[in-house]
Each structure stands twice: as C-alpha cells, then as structure tokens.
Amino acid sequence: MSVDAQLPDKVCLHRGEHLQLIACGHWEYATRTLATGAVGIVAITPDERIVLVEQFRIPAGRRVIEIPAGLVGDQSDLVDEDLLVAAQRELLEETGYQSERWTQLVQGYSSPGLTDEAITLFLAEDARKTAPGGGDDTESIVVYEVPIREADAWLATKLAGGVGADLKLLAAIHLANQAVNRS
Amino acid sequence: MSVDAQLPDKVCLHRGEHLQLIACGHWEYATRTLATGAVGIVAITPDERIVLVEQFRIPAGRRVIEIPAGLVGDQSDLVDEDLLVAAQRELLEETGYQSERWTQLVQGYSSPGLTDEAITLFLAEDARKTAPGGGDDTESIVVYEVPIREADAWLATKLAGGVGADLKLLAAIHLANQAVNRS
C-alpha cells in the first residue's frame, strides 16, 4: 500500500483501561488509551557501564531485562509531561540514577505492524546513583550496571539462565557503544 | 511482582481476526491469534551491506524502515513451520535475497509490557539477490542495501526525511557490526 493510499476508517474493536484494539480495514493493532508517548533511557555511568533493569512482565510470563523506560501522559497529573522530564523521572524511579547530561536520540517503533507505540530514546551520560530506585509500589525492579564492552556476553549469560530480553536492549547497547567511542 | 507470584486468570477482552486483547488482573496486553512466533533477519551481503526494507505501516500511519521480518504459523498451510524456514521464506519474499549461511541469534520481546510478541533474530551472511522481492500481493516493499558502517548516518538522513524506523533496526545494526568485526 502506498503512502498516498486512502486508508479505511479506523474502528475501535475494544477499549480497555490501558489498551485499545483498533481495526483499519483488514489490519488490526493495539494502541494505548492514555499514554501520549513512551521514553527509554540509555544511561551510562562515568566508568562506562550501562544501567539496565530486570522485572517480571505479565505478557512475557517471566522476568525480562530492559533499559529503563516508561510511558508519558498515562497519569492524570502528568498528561502534558515533557518527554525529557518523563525520561528523567523514569530513570530515577526505576534505577535511582540521575544525570546532568541528557541528549535526545532516535525515536522509533517497537513493533510497527502490531502497535503504534513509538519510543523516544534518550542518552543520559555521567549517570550517578542518588536514590534506591526499584520502581513504584507495583514494580519490583532489579537494577544492573553492566560494562558496555561486556554487555553482549553478560546478556547471553542471562538469557541462557532463562530470563527474557527486550530487543530494544540491543539497540541501546549499540547507542551506548557509539557514545563511548565518541567521547 | 515476583516471578513466583500467582498471576490472576487471563481473560480475553476481545478476539479479533489477527490480534486479541487480554487482561490479567490490572494488566492488559495484545497477543496474536494465529501466529506462533516471529522472525527477523539480519542479512549481510558479501560486500558488508545490510539488507533493509521500507513499507507503509497502518499503525504508524507512514512508511517505516525495518529489517526483513515476518510471522510464523499465521497461514493455515504453514502452522508448523520451522523458525529458520520462516526466516528464509520471509527474506526471499520481502527482499529477493537468499543465503547459504544462516545463524540463529538472540530471541527477544518487541515491547514486553504491551505484548507477548517475541522475535527470533537470524543472521544471513553472504546474502545474494536471486529474485525481485517486494513482498506478497498486499505489500509494497522497497529494499535497500546499506553499507553497515554507514547505516547509522543513512538512517538519520531517512528519519530526517519523515520516514519512521523500527527500533529493532538498531539492534540489527549492532548485530551486523558484530558479525563483520568477527569475520
């Protein structure tokens, strides 16, 4: 289908509390009901470690290793939250790290055939631990600091142990390598 | 929530033709109705180019650059299809490329808070064009061969032009760099 094609009308098949199922002609996809965006953080410590999180994910049915990330605008008091502010909030909440050196990186889709979810990635350099982290009351997040140059081998060991991985993690390792090689 | 926690029962909120919306306690997520898996291909030509595709994606509402990828088991005659066979089929259908050197890489989730979709990545080295590609009757796929070492700059130019990107693409560039540096 070309970019100029007239798309069929969108029909809401079901509106849940957090997700909606949409049909557009023969195509179906999921979209979030409240969130206006999503952010992910490539956080790098002064000694070139990347800050990663592990948490139980209900859809996956197991613990999954990811970069710190979160939704924007999904809480009624934060509807107009700026992407960078959301990234700073999520990094602190999930990991207890803060940074003074933020750079907005690429925005991309997590699975553009299945959802309109687009995630804006941020680089947070010189990230330092200032708080316990671990997420909000509903989350139980384990935080790792992994040397960037050993991250692939570390991940392979974790996967062999039965933990899952978010593929954005590999994108983040790529971006972290770029940042370290540049500096 | 710990990995040992007893999860609430899963409830199907809506079953579409391709996607279902599932609730598990307070959590909601999307799952495919038919597909049993998904594959993505990091295809590298003999002169160290990565093979990428661009197609219009209804959820994104625009053209998106991705790695060649596809579903496994979503057609009634291919329910028991092997992951490698599916990857070989998708690479040929979408791009017209074939390879004799396949390696299974990492499996990971595309967005483990939103969907159970897990994608198994394959490396296809020495990939050579043997057919026109372009996808099936419903797809209109543009194929690119991008030098791996220039892929980040190439992508930045494409994004600046208004095309979207699947974040798995950055994961694929990372894996392609590893493959090229290893050989």
B75 C-beta neighbours (distance < 10 Å), count:
11
Domains of chain A: 1-33 (no CATH), 36-182 (3.90.79.10)
Kindly provide the ipTM of the predicted complex, given to two decimals: 0.93
Which residues does chain A have within 8 Å of residue B63's beta carbon, measured at their own beta carbons?
3
Which residues does chain B have within 8 Å of residue A26's beta carbon, measured at their own beta carbons?
17
DSSP string for residues in A35-82:
--EEEEEEEB-TTSEEEEEEEEETTTTEEEEE-SEEEES-SGGGTT--
Q: Give the pLDDT confidence score for residue B76 in this predicted structure.
A: 64
- Closest approach of chain A CAs to the CA of B72, in angstroms? 14
Asked if B25 and A61 come within 8 Å (Cβ–Cβ), the reply is no
Alpha carbons A91 and A50: distance in angstroms, whole number: 12
pLDDT per residue, tens digit, chain A (183 aa), is 444 467 899 999 999 999 999 999 999 999 999 888 999 999 999 999 999 999 999 999 999 999 999 999 877 666 667 999 999 999 999 999 999 999 999 999 999 999 999 999 999 999 999 998 887 777 789 999 999 999 999 999 999 999 999 999 999 999 999 999 987
Asked if B140 and A28 come within 8 Å (Cβ–Cβ), the reply is no
pTM of the model: 0.93
DSSP string for residues in A97-117:
EE-SEEEEEEEEES-TTTB--
Q: What is the 3-state secondary structure (H, E, C) of B14-64?
A: EECCCEEEEEECCEEEEEECCCCEEEEEEEECCCCEEEEEEEEECCCCEEE
DSSP string for residues in B62-115:
EEEEE-SEEEES-SGGGTT--HHHHHHHHHHHHH-EE-SEEEEEEEEES-TTTB
Asked if B138 and A1 come within 8 Å (Cβ–Cβ), the reply is yes
Which one, of B49, B183, B39, lies nearest residue B128 by Cα? B49
Tokens linked to A104: 């907005």
pLDDT tens, residue by residue, B59-85 = 999 999 999 999 998 776 666 679 999
Alpha carbons A155 and A161: distance in angstroms, whole number: 10
pLDDT tens, residue by residue, B137-147 = 777 899 999 99
Q: Give me the count of residues in chain B.
A: 183
Q: Which amino acid is at B183?
A: S
Asked if B17 and A28 come within 8 Å (Cβ–Cβ), the reply is yes
- Nearest neighbour of B114 by CB, restricted to A27, A30, A178: A30
Which residues does chain A have within 8 Å of residue B22's beta carbon, measured at their own beta carbons?
59
Q: Give the pLDDT confidence score for residue A77 in this predicted structure.
A: 67
Phi then psi dihedrals of residue A167, to 5 deg: -65, -20
Q: Give the pLDDT confidence score for residue B132 in this predicted structure.
A: 86
Residues (pLDDT < 70) of chain B are: 1-5, 76-80
Q: Give the pLDDT confidence score for residue B6 in this predicted structure.
A: 79
Q: Give the pLDDT confidence score for residue B79 in this predicted structure.
A: 62
Q: Give the pLDDT confidence score for residue A1 in this predicted structure.
A: 46
Phi-psi region of B52 (alpha: psi -120 to 50; beta: other; left: phi over 0): beta
